[in-house]
Each structure stands twice: as structure tokens, then as C-alpha cells.
Amino acid sequence: MTDPGRERKGLFTTSWGAPLQPAYGPADVPEECRGGALGAPGEFPFTRGIHPTMYRGRLWTMRQYAGFGSAAETNKRYRFLLEQGQTGLSVAFDLPTQMGHDPDSPMAYGEVGKVGVSIACVDDMADLFEGIPLDRVSTSMTINATASILLALYIVVGRRQGVPPEGLAGTTQNDILKEYIARGTYIFPPGPSMRLVTDMFAYCRDRVPRWNTISISGYHMREAGCTAVQEVAFTLANAVAYVQAALSAGLAVDEFAPQLSFFFNAHNNLVEEVAKFRAARRLWARIMRDRFRARDPRSLMLRFHAQTAGSMLTAQQPENNIVRVAVQALAAVLGGCQSLHTNSMDEALALPTERAVRIALRTQQILAYESGVADTADPLGGAFVVERLTRDIEEAAEAYIRKIDDLGGSVAAVAFMQREIQDAAYRYQREVEDKARIVVGVNEFVTEDPPPANLFQLHAGIGEALAQRVARFRAGRAGDAALRALDALERSARAGTNLVPLIVDAVEASVTLGEICERLRGVFGTHQPSVTF
């Protein structure tokens, strides 16, 4: 039996190891963060939010991340979520889709539909959004190496619905640098990958103006174990690399920067997380103004989606995850997110059930409509500890960015960032194992409960069924048109022209995702990571 005692023991430090004082007062707040100097919401440097009234004018988009099995199965989940009050869609793709393999590829065996939905062709994308009008919903797609192909599929399905590209709204994650650093779903080497990213910037600037061309992601680096400071620093350093790449490709900063967006993790420490989001917003505004001379106010605004921390979910006592997610979601809202996904309580064990995902969505709705935290902008602004931590995170992140600049930028600094994340993850795990950090139900307050019943299960034959489906799709198309589209794409890849129009043409000609990637592999090669110890 655990004796909680009267004296609390443990670490009183930030995630990056700085000591926390027992209390904070006016003397701890930097001069630039006091009183009127703090600024107002909607004003540069947007510390307090990007809109003057924040959620009084419009709530954040409630965007539950979902996808599994076939497109038709996932469509049913989307319809369920929309009926429950979700206000935006967020697509999870399976690993073969992320890595550029069709379901009948030997490389896809055993993974089709497992951790997301399988999308290989335009018919799959049409099934995914059957009955969902694309001119009335915004869609976020967590896709990186194959982002240009999934956007092309979405554009073609929009046209089938009668929605032109300029009527589509949403986001492709399209952040390949964090794949090299922390996640691993890359295909091509960094040079061609960055070309695909900037090709999308240029294409969407001209043809899909309401689309966020990239969601520069700190989420996955935080899931890999980095600290709050590292999450801000490495995310913004990667953003700097994308901006520089776009400028080198001949784009003007204010032409593409308003379509940049960000993706952050909402972790457990509520006060630290609120400060993290505020610091990221302030630092990015200054980087864009001072480093890149952006003048459009939209170019200076850090707009971000947040997702609660998957790495903090526990298989033990999964009901506790409802509380964790509520705290993390509260941090995202208090920190000023533009959209939010709340994890489901059973995700440490399986894909979420409808019941679990409904509870996760209801968590957002209770915050929005019952808690009062959406009624005023930046409700914690001016709090001594929040302002001090905001300044501390900003300064520590700036130091990291200078280090990355000295190393030659994010592409050259991949190994450095990997080591920093690994060291932070190791420190955290040691703290948990030593009980310096308490994880309820894991290293304290432990019970011997049986695993929950009624977990979600995929149909066992889904992989084979989808492999047969894509084979039938190829057999039913005009083969000559598909071959001509692939040949044109290959010529464009070798010539250095913008690839996205050719990818859209290929999708129109019923070319599959795997076929497009195979041609590009033939031109670009595949990335071979260096091994360091």
C-alpha cells in the first residue's frame, strides 16, 4: 500500500532541467513582459495570441485524427465524428502510404491499413470522402514524403465533386526534416525532398491559396523524448530551413509564408506548455520580421495545431488517460492553438473505439462550452510564472537555433538534434525508473487490473483485400495514358521543373501512389541514414 505522506518528494524542475522556484513574483518577470509592454492579443509579436479576441470570435477547430483499414471503413468513422460535432477532418495514413508503396507491394506486406488508412489511388481518396463536401470541411493530412501525391489525389477528388482547387481548405504536414530527425518515414534524400516541399509552396500559392502547404512539426520530436525548449528550437530551426529553401527556389517570403503552419505536442506540465506555445509564437514573429524581412502580418503569425501527448498515454489504468488528455488539451487552449486533436484513452493498447474517441471529442467540447477558458484571450497572460517561463523558453530556444545555424542549418544538424533528443529521453526515463518523476499507475499507485475488453480490432484480411483492389484498379485504366503521365513525370524530375502539376496529371490518368514513387526513386534514389553511436 502506498503511503502518500505529508511531504511531497520529487523533481521541481522544468522539462529541460532548470530549477523551479517555490513562487514567482514581479521581480521574476522580464521588463518586456510587464504591464502594457506585454502587448495585446492579435498584435506583434503575438505572444498573447494571433487574434484580438481569440476564441470569442471563433473556437479552435476540433480535428480528431483518424484512419484505419480501407477508405470506406475510415469514411464511416469520419461521418460518426462529424455527427458528434467534430469541426475538421484529420487523416491518419498507414505506413505503406507514408512510404510510397501500394498495398500489393512486397514492402507493404503486414502493414496495410494497420496504423492508418490505405490510400493508393484516386478511387481510394474518393471513397474516403464519400458524402463529405470538400468545399465545406477543412482536412488535415498527416503525410510527409508522399504529401504532394496525397494533395494531388485530394485536388482530383475535389474536382470530381465540382470543387475547384481554390475552394479547398486544409493542411498537408509535408515536414520531411523531422522525419530524418525523429520519425523515419522518409523516401528520398534531403535535396529532392526539399525540392518537393518548395514545389508545393509554389503550386499552392498559385492554385490552392487556402491550403496550408506545410505543418512544421515539433510533435514527433517531443514524442521521441525532447524537452519543451528543444521542441520549440528544433521546430523553428526546421522552419528556417524551409523558408530559406523557398527563397532559394525564387519565391518571395510574403508569397508563401502565410501558408505555413505548425504542429506542436500538448504535454503534461500545464504551466510549462502554455509558456512554450507563447514563446514559440513570439520567437517566430521576430525571426520572420528580423531575419527574413517579412512584412505581411500573416507571415509573422505562428498558427499551430496541437495534439495531446501520445507518449504520455499508459496501457496501465487507461481511464487515467482521460484526465491526462484533459490537462494537455487545456494547456493547448490556454496557449492559443488554432486546432486540436485529443487522444483517446485506449490508444496505448489499440486503435480507438468509437466510445473512446467520442469521450476525447467531448473533452474538447467541455473545454469550449463549459470551462470558461475560451471566453477571454490569453487568460494566463501576465501570470508571473507563465511570463518568466515564456521568456526562459524563448531564450534557451534561441541559443539552440544559433548552434544549429553554426552547424550549417537543420539539414546539416540532423545528427546533433538526434543526440540531443536521445539524451533528453534517457534522462526522463531514468527519472521515471528512479521515481523522481511519478507516473500514476505505472511507478506509483499501481493496481493489477485486467486489460480492458472490447478493444478495436481490424479485419484480418484487410491487406489482401486492398492488394486485390489496387490490382483491379490498374487493370481497368487506360494503360497508355498512365504510361505517358509517368514518363512526363520522370522527365520533369530530371529537368528540375515543378513536379506537382505532373503529379496531378498522373493522378488524373489513374496512376497509383506506388507507381509515382517508384519513378521518382529511379531519379532521386532513396535516403540512406548514417549510423552514429
Q: Can you read off the three cell numbers belonging to residue 388?
A: 518568466
Residues in the chain: 533
Q: From start to end of 177-228, where are the E strands?
A: 211-212, 214-217
> Is the whole model's pTM more than 0.85, yes or no?
yes
pLDDT attached to residue 453: 84
Sign of CA dihedral 362, 135, 339, 507: positive
Contact 378, 54 (CB under 8 A): yes
pLDDT attached to residue 450: 87
Task: Encode pLDDT of 107-149 as tens digits.
Answer: 999 999 999 999 999 999 999 999 999 999 999 999 999 999 9
pLDDT tens for the chain, residues 1 to 533: 455 555 676 689 999 999 999 999 999 998 877 777 788 999 999 999 999 999 999 999 999 999 999 999 999 999 999 999 999 999 999 999 999 999 999 999 999 999 999 999 999 999 999 999 999 999 999 999 999 999 999 999 999 999 999 999 999 999 999 999 999 999 999 999 999 999 999 999 999 999 999 999 999 999 999 999 999 999 999 999 999 999 999 999 999 999 999 999 999 999 999 999 999 999 999 999 999 999 999 999 999 999 999 999 999 999 999 999 999 999 999 999 999 999 999 999 999 999 999 999 999 999 999 999 999 999 999 999 999 999 999 999 999 999 999 999 999 999 999 999 999 999 999 999 999 999 999 999 999 988 888 899 888 899 999 999 999 999 999 989 999 999 999 999 999 999 999 999 999 999 999 999 999 999 999 999 876 54
- CA atoms of 404 and 190, how far apart (whole Å): 17
**CB-based contacts of 222, cutoff 8 Å, min separation 6:** 228, 231, 264, 265, 267, 309, 311
The DSSP string of 101-116 is: --TTSGGGTTTTTSSS
Which residue intervals of 335-383 are DSSP H helices?
354-369
Task: Spell out the domain ranges in the chain.
Answer: 26-42+58-433
CATH number for 26-42+58-433: choose from 3.20.20.240, 1.10.287.3510, 3.20.20.140, 3.40.50.300.
3.20.20.240
Place of cell 498515454: 313
